[in-house]
Every structure is written in structure tokens, then in C-alpha cells.
Amino acid sequence: PVAGAHDAGARSDSGGHLIVWSFLGLDSTEGWTGITRRAFRGDLTTGTWTELPPVPGQAGRLAATAQVVRGKVYLIGGYTVDSAGGERSVPEVDVWDPATGSWSAAAPMPVPTDDVVSGVWRDSLIYIVSGWHDTDNVRDVQVYDPAADRWTAATPIPGPGVFGHTGGIVGDAIVYVDGVARRPPGEQPRYMMVPQAWVGRIDPAETSRIAWSWLPEQPGSPTYRAAAAPCGDRLVFFGGTANPYNSNGVGYDGVPSEPSAFRFAWSATTGTWGDTLTAPVATMDHRALALARSGAWVVGGMRSGQRVSANVTAVPRPDC
């Protein structure tokens, strides 16, 4: 119903309908007053949208992440922006229960982070991988157990802490690619892309233990704020940009960022990259890709020219 980027998205199924969720984010003004607390439920089977009660809190947030576990939606972290441009990472975990149509609060993140990679392991645990905390990136992997309402620390990532990276969980594997790191003091622009790819194997007997190993770089250009989702034995990636930016789509180097239309995937069975193609539409500023048997979609985001979009964009779906 409205144009939005920088939001937290997730998907679920309800009675044979594909449901997508969109929370928080930035409206088409692209300014701090356009950071919103709005929340939406989209039924992609019927093509209808419903606005939900706003996300709790006094201020909207950017770069939060959302995941669905056993029917409930967990909205985690993000950052707020004040009128002077000051940013603060927040620890909030807000829970939307579709059955009751209400919000509740869960245990806050031990290390507040935003612009993270997140994923769900076996419909039971949510993993939060790296991201930005107030003044710098962190290498932390934080694990939330919704059943116990408890956080634990897992094996940190082996590479540099990054934000705006892309990835998720497929089977027992966490995969993430690329992301942005701070340059040493005095170097410009302040942030740089980090071409990288890692896989972490979760130990089912001790879920805080992750065996990390290096992967060959993904087949496209380094990507920032792309969308990703598991699909069978694969993790599918789409969109993003090669030029990192903060919130308005203009790169840290002062050059307007342009979105990508590239799709690729990583196979947990073969451990290799594949399924590459260029989609008809380029888009960036996503985290979640809504995948179902009938297709794949991204919601909102930014199009060419830094235009905040209200479109639900179909993405060619691999055969998985």
C-alpha cells in the first residue's frame, strides 16, 4: 500500500496462502522523519494487504531483521535515527502473534545490532550473524531460543565484522557473503565492500558451536543489502548493489548506488555456487526473499535512481 525500503521482511504460510510481512523502514521521503513504525501483512495468494497495529516503541527503526518461528514473527534489532542524524542500535525483540493479532516483547539482544544476517534453524532457533553495533561492526553470532525466551552466544565469525552482508540458513549450514567494513581512521570513503563468502556448520548436539570455513567468492559482483532465502537444499540470493550506502541510496563515496538484477544460489548438497541469471527488474535495499513453490518475490526496496518502491517484484525462482 505504501512505498518502503530498509524494512524487515519475512514470509510464512497460512491455510495454503503465502503471507509476507513488512515492518518498519523508510518511506519515499528518504529522510529521518520518514522512518516508520508501520507494519503490514500481505497475502500474495490473493494479492491483498492489511495494515497491522504499529510496531511498539517511540520511534521507527531501520535495518531490523524478521524471522518466523512456529507461526510467530520475531522482529529483532535495527537502529533509530534522531533529528541530528545520530544513530543508535537497539536491542528490542518485538513478537507479532497472528493468532491473537497482538504484539508482545521478548528478551532483548545482549549486543544490539542492525544490518545483520539472520536465519532460522529447524524452526526452533534464530541466528543473528555479525552486523553493526553503534560505532563499529561486531563479529558476534547471537542465538535466540523463542521457546525459552533466551539468548546465547555462538562461535563468532572468522572474518571481519560487517554490515549489509547477505545470507541465511539452509539445513545445518549458515552461509553469508560480502558486506561492508570500516576503513582505518582517516581513509575515505569511511566504509568499503569486503568480497567474501563463509559457511558455518551448526553442531546439532551443541547449537552454540559453529564450524566456520571459507567458501569461494560468489559468482557476481560483491553485493550489499541483497535478498536471500532457503529453497530446498539451496540458499538463493537476489539483487542488492555493489556500492554501499547508508539510507538514501547514495554511496559513501558520493556516487548514487544502482541496484542489481543478478540472481545466484549456493547448494548445500554440492557446496558450490550456481543458478545464475539476470532478472528483468533490478532492486536493492532488501534482506528477505519470499520463496514458495509458486514463485519468489521481493517487497518494496529501492529501484534505479534511488526510488523507494511499493512494488512486489517477481524474481525467477530456481527449480528447488
CA-to-CA distance for 262 and 274, rounded, in angstroms?
A: 12
- pLDDT-based confidence at residue 32 (cuts at 50, 70, 90): confident
**What are the beta bridge partners of residue 296?**
291, 315
Neighbour count for residue 283 (Cβ, 10 Å): 27
Q: What is the pLDDT of residue 293?
A: 83
Q: What is the pLDDT of residue 320?
A: 86
CB 172 within 8 A of CB 121: yes
Q: What percent of the chain clears pLDDT 70, i.e. is strictly above it?
A: 100
Neighbour count for residue 95 (Cβ, 10 Å): 18
Q: Is residue 295 pLDDT above 90, yes or no?
A: no
* Residues 74-105: tens digit of each pLDDT: 999 999 999 999 999 999 999 999 999 999 99
pLDDT (mean) for 266-281: 96
Q: Can you say whether the dihedral through the CA atoms of 54, 287, 121, 133 is positive or negative?
A: negative
| pTM of the predicted model as reported, rounded to 2 decimal places | 0.97
Q: What is the pLDDT of residue 100?
A: 98
Q: What percent of the chain clears pLDDT 90, i.e. is strictly above it?
A: 93
Q: What is the pLDDT of residue 29?
A: 87
- pLDDT-based confidence at residue 270 (cuts at 50, 70, 90): very high
Q: What is the pLDDT of residue 279?
A: 94
Q: What is the pLDDT of residue 292?
A: 87
Q: What is the pLDDT of residue 294?
A: 80
Q: Is residue 173 pLDDT above 90, yes or no?
A: yes
Task: Give me the phi and psi of 34, to 5 degrees please.
Answer: -95, 10
Q: Three-state SS string across the chain, please?
A: CCCCECCEEEEEEECCEEEEEEECCECCCCCHHHECCCEEEEECCCCEEEEECCCCCCCCCECCEEEEECCEEEEECCEEECCCCCEEECCCEEEEECCCCEEEECCCCCCCCECCEEEEECCCEEEEECCEECCEECCCEEEEECCCCEEEEECCCCCCCCECCEEEEECCEEEEECCEEECCCCCCCCEEECCCEEEEEEECCEEEEEEEEECCCCCCCCCECCEEEEECCEEEEECCECCCECCCCEECCCCECCEEEEEEEEECCCCCEEEEEEEEEEEECCCECEEECCEEEEECCEECCCEECCCEEEECCCCC
Least confident segment among 28-32, 176-180, 220-224, 271-275? 28-32
* Residues 181-210: tens digit of each pLDDT: 999 999 999 999 999 999 999 999 999 999
CA atoms within 13 A on the CB side of 32: 11
What is the pLDDT of the chain when averaged over all its residues?
Answer: 96
pLDDT (mean) for 2-21: 94
Q: What is the pLDDT of residue 183?
A: 93
Q: What is the pLDDT of residue 31?
A: 86
CB-based contacts of 242-247 (< 8 A; 24+ apart in sequence): 242/193, 244/164, 244/180, 244/191, 244/192, 244/193, 247/6, 247/26, 247/30, 247/62, 247/81
Q: Is residue 30 pLDDT above 90, yes or no?
A: no
Q: What is the pLDDT of residue 7?
A: 95
pLDDT (mean) for 228-246: 96
pLDDT (mean) for 13-35: 92
pLDDT (mean) for 107-122: 98
